[in-house]
Copies of this chain bind each other. A is one copy, B any other.
Amino acid sequence: MLYIYHMSITEKYDNVFKALASPIRRQILDDLRDQPLMTGVLCEHFPELSRYAVMQHLSVLEEADLVIVERKGRERWNYLNPLPIHQIHERWIGPHAKRAVALLDRLKVDIEG
């Protein structure tokens, strides 16, 4: 039997921002930015945490659709899903303001050194 659970847009955003409110989870996304990683390898990046704790963080990220998990045999590969972050950007910046914001950001970096 197939259950389809439709989350509202509001619930989706709630999950995304709650997931991102944790520094550890943000660091996991940093680690996944350039390549997918196996769960075991990710755990090695966080020696201060138990494997269980890292897996809990991963499941929060997966629920928020920020991480996509692919199972290959016994391996569990974690991918960063950039779409929710892209949608945040579109919601409040959108195509029209992109150039202006990029310019402002560069100015800020220049001024602050």
Which residues does A use to contact B, with CB under 8 Å? 10, 13-14, 17-18, 20-21, 23, 26, 29-30, 33, 80, 82-83, 85-94, 97, 101-102, 104-105, 108
Contact = CB atoms under 8 A, between A and B. Distances in A.
B82 A101 contact: yes
Contact of A14 (B18, B21, B83): B21
B86 A88 contact: no
A54 B39 CA distance: 42
A82 B101 CA distance: 7
Contact of A89 (B26, B30, B88): B88
B23 A91 contact: no
Contact of A92 (B21, B29, B91, B105): B29
